[in-house]
Every structure is written in structure tokens, then in C-alpha cells.
Structure 1
């Protein structure tokens, strides 16, 4: 099994990502294809405490963090207190909205919404969040 958390030399190239993401690899590739529509770029970085993480940015603004997991790709969006109500008004799945409203804010008043991407059916919610985050202050 590939473990992107421990091995800095095991880079997140397509061959390795395909092995860990499995059936969700095509959804991950679709997400990459769509990022230019948001003027966003994905950059892989290795962190000693977290392993390989994908940082998706638009200019200097971080839109979300991504992590390859066994069988899926997780996208984590961090929102400040000012944007909390705007996220709840988005046209996203009810379970995501409920999860977000029940997630306590961190010490820095940030609330995180994580989406596990298993298939292309999960991408419309991700696109909604990217668009909102791109324009949020």
C-alpha cells in the first residue's frame, strides 16, 4: 500500500495517485481539468507532520488543501467566521451543509469543511465551494 504520509521520495505522480485513489482517480483528474476555470493551480508539498498535501491556490489565496487517501481524495476548505453563513447558503448537499454547521470553529475562528471525493458525482459541491472561496474576503 502506498503511504503518502511517510515517504517523501514517493511522489504524488499520476501512477502513484492512480494506485491509491483507485476508482476515484478519474474524479481527481476531472477536478484538475476544471481548476483553470477558477484561475487556480495545484501544487504538491511534503510536510513532515502531514506527508504529501495538495495546496490549491488562486494567486496568493489558498482555496483548499487536498489529500490522497485510500480510495478517495479529500478536499479541505477553511472558512473564516465572516464567510460561515455564505457557505450555508450555497447549493451543496444537505449533509455537507449540516456537517459544516455542526463543526466547531478552531482557535483561530476558522471552520473546516472536508469533502471526500469518490466519484465525479461529488465534484459539483466542490466546484460550488471553490467558486465561493475564490470570491470570499
Structure 2
């Protein structure tokens, strides 16, 4: 099951919890978070509890939408995005990794757009994630 490592509704995760559980990838979590705030200083951070089945996730939002979701897992995390058609077109024409483009291309289309999740196991996809954040903010 694709579940957060933080499942206790009564305990909102804190920085020390992330560092302990994400291990080396915690640095990448904060690099992505800081990148969003560097591009959009008014971004709001929010922990969200999605129920016992999914646990806690972290959202970075602008005034009306989520820019990126960060989903903590044991020793790594996932980033998740929802892209409308315009943003999807921009991503498909970009230099973003083919594996991410394939995820987006094959994602089911909903009214709010296409949703994708990207495992962040090491630094190899962080630049692509940063580029996706830039696309999200512009579209």
C-alpha cells in the first residue's frame, strides 16, 4: 500500500520526524520546499491528514491551488502534481526526463487535470521536479 509513514492523526509531523524517517532524502525534501518558496515567497505549507488509510501528506499551496504535494515514505518521499492541459503541453515540450513525460502522458485525465507521483529516492530527479514546479507556477 502507498501509505505515509506518519499515520497517527493526533501527531502532526515535525522537522525532526522528517529528518529521522526520510534519512538522506530529507535534504532533497527541503531543497524542493525551499525552491517553491524561492519562486513564490507567499507559498503556504500545510500538513494534511487524509485518513487512516493514507496518513499525513505535506502540501505547498498558492492562494487557490496546491503547487506540489510531498508524500513521506520510509527512507524516501514522493512528489505529486496535478497538471491541466496547458501545463501538460508545456511539460511534454520541455527537457524534463522522458520517464516523467511518460507518467504524465499515461495518467488518467480528470476534470482538475492529470495527476502524477514521482519517487524521490536520490537527487537524480530533483532538477526535473524543480522544473515541474516552475511549469505549475506559470500555468
TM-score w.r.t. the length of structure 1 is 0.84
| Structure 2: unaligned runs, 5 residues or longer | none
CA contact (8 A) 1:30 1:120 kept: no
Distance 1:61 1:20 in 2: 27
Q: Counterpart in 2 of 1:121? A: 124
CA contact (8 A) 2:5 2:72 kept: no
Aligned length: 133
Deviations 1:58-110 (A, max 9, x none): 2323212221011211111001234322221122111111221122213x262
Distance 1:57 1:22 in 2: 25
| Structure 1: unaligned runs, 5 residues or longer | none
Distance 1:109 1:31 in 2: 23
Q: Counterpart in 1 of 2:25? A: 24
Q: Counterpart in 2 of 1:110? A: 113
Distance 2:129 2:5 in 1: 25
Q: What is the alpha-carbon root mean square deviation over aligned residues?
A: 2.0
